Structure 1
């Protein structure tokens, strides 16, 4: 089951990530170049992910896992039912909470 954050003010500390515009490895490299930065809290808005439609769920899940393995805490918003179901079946829904 997804964990849902109920405090909208908490979103201010999130870094928005557009998986259509940036590769996960590139983002992690950029974040790692900032010394003293705490593990980032990333927010991925899944509303209009072209990569989800063009490259599929496996690409999106792969990108999310790269971000997670790189030390980032990844939160998802506006997740469609297909991605939600896939994350649940893969038992990854607890790694990527909804906001």
Structure 2
């Protein structure tokens, strides 16, 4: 049976939340920026529905980028998670690591 996004977080990301585009900014670059600022753990919002790299580089690339951000201490909120990405997150037991939001 195929998992479905039923465990979407009912809590909206708390402010301040930074919108992140993984198509234009690699996670390693974001991590360096986060390390320089050394403030409270950032809240990053990623709209997965508009990610070109998800289609061109694949799900494993996106999950790798998300894990880099998570390891750097960021709270990562995902919006518009497609079924394939959700399925992979569920198989890797990462649905509790990232905050999943329903489609905008």
By the TM > 0.5 criterion, same fold?
Answer: yes
| Alignment correspondent of 1:94 | 96
Alpha-carbon distance between aligned partners in 1 of 2:87 and 2:59, rounded to the nearest angstrom: 10
Aligned pairs, number: 96
Alpha-carbon distance between aligned partners in 1 of 2:43 and 2:11, rounded to the nearest angstrom: 16
Decide whether the 8 Å contact of 2:17 with 2:44 is kept in 1.
yes
Q: 1:31 aligns with which of 9, 29, 34?
A: 34
Unaligned runs of 5+ in 2: 1-5
**What's the TM-score, normalizing by structure 1?**
0.88
1:4 aligns with 2:13: no
Alpha-carbon distance between aligned partners in 2 of 1:13 and 1:51, rounded to the nearest angstrom: 25
| Alignment correspondent of 2:56 | 54
**What's the TM-score, normalizing by structure 2?**
0.84
- CA-to-partner distance for each residue in 1:12-54, whole Å, 9 max, x for gaps? 421111010101010010121114x111011111111110000
Q: 1:67 aligns with which of 44, 49, 69?
A: 69
Unaligned runs of 5+ in 1: none
Decide whether the 8 Å contact of 2:20 with 2:46 is kept in 1.
yes
Q: 1:82 aligns with which of 81, 84, 87?
A: 84
- Distance apart, 1:4 and its partner CA: 1.1
CA-based RMSD: 1.5
